[in-house]
Amino acid sequence: MTTQPKHRIYVTRKQRSRDNENITPLIRRCIKATLETEGVSLPCEVNVLITNDSGIRAINRESRNIDKPTDVLSFPMFEFRPGKFAADETFLDPETGRIFLGDVAISLERAAAQAEEYGHGKEREIGYLVIHSTLHLLGYDHTDEGPMKKQMRSREREIIKKIGISENE
């Protein structure tokens, strides 16, 4: 009897290239580390779309009425309180046995540009964006410069350090 993995992370690429072949394991590792750090013990599911600037611009325009590309978009299924994951078995999908947390879209084109701008590696930027967006799925936000933004930034740094993504990756 084979057991299913606790968390299921579906990664879809809008276009394949050799540049993004190795990022699926990175994406899964970052999501799993974020869920673990946040104390999420129930099995979860997350969909991730890897796209480019034009793809994420279309999603941003359609979903948020903002006609410009961005680095990452998160679409949470539920409204959780940051740092207090309060889902129980009633949140589980009866067909999958997992909680569907939501969808994430990442522009690799934007991630590469930001990595260069900030002076670190593309993998580090992608890892950061995945962690950031997963925290959004878990209720974190940063709409102002208040305590929640500080809390979110602190969690991002902790998780990046935990999984060992260096500035050069």
Segment 72-130, tens digit of pLDDT: 999 999 999 888 888 888 888 999 899 999 999 999 999 999 999 999 889 999 999 99
In the three-class reduction of DSSP (H, G, I as helix; E, B as strand; rest coil), residue 55 is classed as helix
pLDDT digits (tens, 9 = 90+) for 35-52: 999 999 899 999 999 999
Q: Is residue 168 part of a domain?
A: no
| Domain harbouring 75, CATH code | 3.40.390.30
Radius of gyration (Cα) for the chain, nearest Å? 16
Q: Is residue 29 part of a domain?
A: yes
Q: Indicate the pTM of the whole model.
A: 0.90
Residues with Cβ within 8 Å of residue 50, at least 6 apart in sequence: 11, 12, 13, 14, 20, 23, 27, 106, 108
Q: Is residue 139 part of a domain?
A: yes
- Full domain range(s) for residue 29: 8-163
Distances (CA, A) of 36 to 21, 33, 74: 25, 5, 19
pLDDT digits (tens, 9 = 90+) for 7-34: 999 998 876 666 666 789 999 999 999 9
